[in-house]
Structure 1
């Protein structure tokens, strides 16, 4: 599979001739663009990073530019754009579906979006359960360029896991892990020898490092599912489906931010019988992930995970210097209101104390 990258040669500087006119390059090959709009200015910024053929319409739509604006600018700037040599992508036919991911990464970080996806390709994200929510989250991460989804789930597909957003009915009673493998084999994912879904049920390769972990709960979280990652210094977050809302926790950075146990301790402060209640709730059927709640939660959580992975790789969003992306979300079913949430350290929690190096397998 080949792609063509359109990129302004960085040797050609952008120089303002007046507040509304910009010149790209110096000398006979320079291009002067009068009456430059804000949208055109952003397109030029993106072209300095590079755009793959097929992204033009996505850029126009994202920047709310006039249809065909990106294509027109590329034509005007031909004399300062690097000669478009076809390159080969490691993603196979999937590259045809990755334009939106590349475009978003380019706009978020003002770099070539393929650089961002190349870094994501090296990351492994753990999902504790491959139920309906876990399955959908795995697909979202893989579609976003994450290299491998890993899990300890050795359970079977339940009736609550079936449906249009879950597993086909013929997988009922079969291994969740093997069923998801079969489902992924039908998708337009990268053609590669890299294992996209890996089980940690058996002793894993020592070289495998978990980059991020996701914990999913209904009404309550099982403490062992998140304490594992806190003790191993692995960044993580949780999704909890409640009766009146769905919550995506803030990103937990062990030893740096408040943790999920801090949140649980505050729940105990509100009701000292919470631990007893929670121990009963965690084993109830997982039936609170209706389609609207599920899609909302997966979308918000995916964005949080990707931003944290990208920042860990050195890509920082210029529009979020305070790292607000790490805040959590609470989506209210009744009103549709999305509220950003933050956790506070709890005096009874030991999450800020030094941890032993236990590895993260």
Structure 2
């Protein structure tokens, strides 16, 4: 067991005898004696269970002072069975900091993420961006049904390389992402093992996209680009939350001419994913995915960014479709 002051918190000098850890929910430790400062140095570096027993001697102080200080800083102490390799911290500090700031053990969470599989509906530049981020986060397997080839529209600073033009998107994405990425030509029983699905659409979400995951009880989130901006749906947990069909049913019943408009939008084949909308939506969807996969945490909110700069979060209106 290793004990350390949470490495994700900024270590801040306040005065000669005062230190602060973090600044959003800060812990300030004041009136420190020299022995207490030596103790803090050890806790900042991290100590093993064996070192913990001999800590008073190492810091040239007594057990009572050590126990008192440990109580004062208990809120920011982090305990781990294995600790974190220094090379891993250097390579993925931000990802590890996220885990620590959410109160998770990075070593345990890393193992858990390795067992997860995420479906990405499209491997266009948006899907590729999401795939890269999921790989960086340590998700073990990525799956897609996308059988398209890399087109000129896919080649960009946020997309594929010019040399990959004409390659199957999955193969090209595999080369760029580096983690286990699989393409399925049809829905199969392996889809029952998908941990979460990320749907990517323009103008309107195809009902066939989400019905697949409703039927399999797989949580899913939708990224929808439209003529004003982009909207990321709440995470849908089948049987527990309103689903995308509930949101669509409300529009069918309340938006003028929507029953006529919707089929025409489904027939359009275009992309409205400009760079600003793409990066915003990818980040929001990824954050929702990781919060659920790591903590089973979810919020009933859609997040929307318009090209005008207007940003909003709201509970989308829904009419029950009978999914619950």
TM-score bracket, shorter-length normalisation: 0.7 to 0.9
Distance 2:185 2:131 in 1: 17
- Show the counterpart of 2:246: 262
Contact persistence 1:249–1:327 (CA under 8 A): yes
- Show the counterpart of 2:323: 351
| Cα RMSD, aligned residues only | 3.6
The Cα shift of 1:304 comes to 0.6
Sort the Cα spacing of 1:179 and 1:197 in 2 relative to 1 into closer, same or farther, 3 A: same
Aligned residue for 1:140, secondary structure, equals helix
Sort the Cα spacing of 1:166 and 1:178 in 2 relative to 1 into closer, same or farther, 3 A: same
Aligned residue for 1:243, secondary structure, equals coil
Distance 2:256 2:135 in 1: 41
Contact persistence 2:83–2:107 (CA under 8 A): no
The Cα shift of 1:179 comes to 1.1
- Show the counterpart of 2:3: 7
2:96 to 98, 102, 106: 102
Sort the Cα spacing of 1:75 and 1:221 in 2 relative to 1 into closer, same or farther, 3 A: same
TM-score for the superposition, normalised by structure 1:
0.67
Q: Which has the larger radius of gyration?
A: 2
Contact persistence 1:160–1:287 (CA under 8 A): no
Structure 1 segments of 4 or more deviating over 4 A?
Answer: 33-36, 40-44, 71-74, 93-96, 202-208
The Cα shift of 1:122 comes to 1.0
1:182 to 155, 169, 175: 175
1:121 to 98, 111, 114: 114
Sort the Cα spacing of 1:345 and 1:284 in 2 relative to 1 into closer, same or farther, 3 A: closer
Sort the Cα spacing of 1:114 and 1:155 in 2 relative to 1 into closer, same or farther, 3 A: same
**Cα offsets for 1:198-255 (capped at 9, x unmatched):** 1222676759710000111111111101111011110001001111121000110111
Distance 2:268 2:92 in 1: 38
Distance 1:215 1:202 in 2: 16
Structure 2 segments unaligned to the other structure (5+ residues): 6-15, 28-36, 53-81
Distance 1:258 1:127 in 2: 21
The Cα shift of 1:178 comes to 1.1
Verify: 1:341 aligned to 2:324, yes or no.
Answer: no
**Structure 1 or 2: more helix by fraction:** 2
- Show the counterpart of 1:61: none
Structure 1 segments unaligned to the other structure (5+ residues): 10-32, 45-70, 186-194, 317-322, 353-361
Distance 1:178 1:256 in 2: 36
The Cα shift of 1:266 comes to 1.4
Moved more, 149-158 or 281-290: 281-290
Verify: 1:172 aligned to 2:138, yes or no.
Answer: no
TM-score for the superposition, normalised by structure 2:
0.74
